[in-house]
Structure 1
């Protein structure tokens, strides 16, 4: 055997170990978790794991087979969440992959009885999971929330819970919060965070069935050490006017004659200025936005419409603020504004990172409508 032939044989033998990945996991032999629900009952953690079928998702936003089950939910309980996860492994057929975890849902009981930070730490301590996991709270049964499917049976990965930013751009009510944002808010003054409140609505119908859908009903206020309560429905409407993240949101105002005017508010910008008066912290707030008239059933001048919009926005902002005070919550993170802009006074006034707030803490609240317009020419004559 010549040297060339011997060299070729040695090279071939050297490449044989590279022909396979011995420690690789076959995708078809794994289960993929998309959502997790956490409940707490009788001193036990109740874990619900939503397993999704990626066969319905491949290369298409629409499931390829509407008869195929998109989602199944597994359940396990334990004295700790780690124990519940281990018990869940006892009932699964394949290895569980957590790298596609999209959202967490906490029940009201879990929010009240369990500190949130250690629970979240369980899910982010491993390299598979990410900080871009959405966090929600609910008063409904957690397992029912996890079994909700998107309208017209779209892929479960595009549900409102797994992909919330798309619908938020069309109607900005409560901004979704991921783990990264949640931890930042809990670690900085006022050491409180808002978690979207999800309820179940039976407001969709198909030929064969009534379709249940997730509904954003408000927000839950959490701290590193506990849960303060929910602000929901009409009491929560002021939140959208106090964040620069609001893209667009609907508002209805009523004229003196009792007729409604429907508008969309866009491009919301908020400026908060803390001031110290007689040793106490006060806040001057300026809110800016553009208003677009959608429906008007009565004649009104632009100044009249602008006045009505300002009055309603101010009312909603103060209503939400006062509801938050009832549960001792700094809903607009005013304490953080003082911390950022006057840390010396913040150090003097704060208690556990939070400045004491009262109804009079908002000294001035000014609303400015920078642009009032209408997309339809028929309305332009009405508001001129």
Structure 2
């Protein structure tokens, strides 16, 4: 009898249980994939890229190549949130922010010291994550956000949406996410660099000219705003001063006939040591790496290859440092190195997290090429010990 009463009571209570009434069905949401943030005439201008996941689901390419992968919404407001709510007026479904992959900051929003507001917006909202990639640009944001990857690959696999994939092949500028950006701006010397992205119009298909996104240099950023830009030819030194560099190259002249040769460098290990003498600080840098020769047109020695690598890498490291000093930036975060290894001296010399730097602040650069790989065995005879 008790079992029957218990069963009746349980059946009655189940009618009081709530279901998933407040859950939004996936097909009734728009998924924000990217955001562009600009600032003009006292207003924030936001560009929201909404991606169609149904068109690229379970595939690296769109199911329908003719279908539109994304649409861009544009709105203005006195705050970022105000502009987004203006966008909500014209959107058909609820916007979900949990899949946002990257954000592009315009030159104007960085130059007007609005980056802190952007970071505040991103870190406060519960749906956003700290793995969002951050970029800077001089290009119109609406033009950048509609560029489709080469061969009509899915937008989720674009250079901006999936930067690590291409970074493994050519490590020019290390991608930076929201977490590292926040950390970098809160640690000495309160400066970071972002990849500077642009539109490359050098591709051609059977339908005519194509566009792709390329990394053109770096954007130097501080808590106070934009410090400036370094283009590709002036920013090459950063890849040799970064333990996260996977693979990159140098090209120089070698041998009696001064033939050009390209060498890839990998397995980098960078060590920066502050040298303090009477409150005068300099830095010794040691860079270990392996070299891989890609093409040889005459007989050369491994020592000649080592000398070329040492000369070229040191030159690029010093040139990038010199260019950054002209913008009053500590691009190699030497101030932080002193802070980590000799905090007492750092406290005496620092000003707003930075120490004074000159071209002589880098005392020595030691390049150690631990291994030279000649490539395929069919060409091994052109390299001698």
TM-score of Structure 1 vs Structure 2, range by shorter chain: over 0.9
1:91-102 equivalences under 5 Å are 91-102=90-101
Residue by residue over 1:223-258, the C-alpha shift from the partner in whole angstroms, topping out at 9 and shown as x without a partner, is 111110011111011100001000111211112523
- In structure 2, the partner of 1:110 is 109
Residue by residue over 1:170-198, the C-alpha shift from the partner in whole angstroms, topping out at 9 and shown as x without a partner, is 11000000010011111010110111100
The separation in 1 between residues aligned to 2:8 and 2:210, in whole angstroms, is: 65
The separation in 1 between residues aligned to 2:154 and 2:15, in whole angstroms, is: 41
Q: Offset at 1:379? A: 2.6
Equivalent residue of 1:325, what SS?
helix
- In structure 2, the partner of 1:322 is 322
Contact 1:171–1:248 (CA under 8 A) maintained in structure 2: yes
- In structure 2, the partner of 1:359 is 359
Residue by residue over 1:260-306, the C-alpha shift from the partner in whole angstroms, topping out at 9 and shown as x without a partner, is 11111000110000011242110000011000000122221111111
TM-score, structure 1 normalization: 0.96
- In structure 2, the partner of 1:154 is 153
- In structure 2, the partner of 1:30 is 29
Q: Offset at 1:322? A: 0.4
Equivalent residue of 1:261, what SS?
strand
Q: Offset at 1:12? A: 3.3
2:335 equivalent to 1:335 = yes
The separation in 1 between residues aligned to 2:130 and 2:209, in whole angstroms, is: 35
2:72 equivalent to 1:85 = no
2:71 equivalent to 1:58 = no
- In structure 2, the partner of 1:269 is 269
Equivalent residue of 2:275, what SS?
strand
- In structure 1, the partner of 2:220 is 221
Contact 1:115–1:224 (CA under 8 A) maintained in structure 2: no
Contact 1:252–1:262 (CA under 8 A) maintained in structure 2: yes
1:206-245 equivalences under 5 Å are 206-245=205-244
Equivalent residue of 2:295, what SS?
strand
- In structure 2, the partner of 1:14 is 13
Equivalent residue of 2:294, what SS?
strand
Q: Offset at 1:6? A: 6.0
2:67 equivalent to 1:68 = yes
The separation in 1 between residues aligned to 2:11 and 2:66, in whole angstroms, is: 49
The separation in 1 between residues aligned to 2:127 and 2:181, in whole angstroms, is: 19
Contact 1:30–1:94 (CA under 8 A) maintained in structure 2: yes
Contact 1:335–1:354 (CA under 8 A) maintained in structure 2: yes
Equivalent residue of 1:296, what SS?
coil
- In structure 2, the partner of 1:45 is 44
Q: Offset at 1:8? A: 4.3
Equivalent residue of 1:295, what SS?
coil
Q: Offset at 1:341? A: 0.3
The separation in 2 between residues aligned to 1:379 and 1:357, in whole angstroms, is: 46
Equivalent residue of 1:177, what SS?
coil
2:139 equivalent to 1:140 = yes
The separation in 2 between residues aligned to 1:381 and 1:351, in whole angstroms, is: 56
In structure 2, the CA distance between the partners of 1:166 and 1:17, relative to structure 1 (3 Å rule), is: farther
Equivalent residue of 2:352, what SS?
coil
RMSD (Å) for aligned C-alpha atoms:
1.5
The separation in 2 between residues aligned to 1:72 and 1:138, in whole angstroms, is: 20
Equivalent residue of 2:50, what SS?
strand
- The more displaced of 156-165 and 338-347 is 156-165
In structure 2, the CA distance between the partners of 1:213 and 1:16, relative to structure 1 (3 Å rule), is: farther
In structure 2, the CA distance between the partners of 1:250 and 1:16, relative to structure 1 (3 Å rule), is: farther
Q: Offset at 1:141? A: 0.5
The separation in 1 between residues aligned to 2:24 and 2:148, in whole angstroms, is: 29
Equivalences, count: 383
Equivalent residue of 2:20, what SS?
coil
The separation in 1 between residues aligned to 2:278 and 2:140, in whole angstroms, is: 49
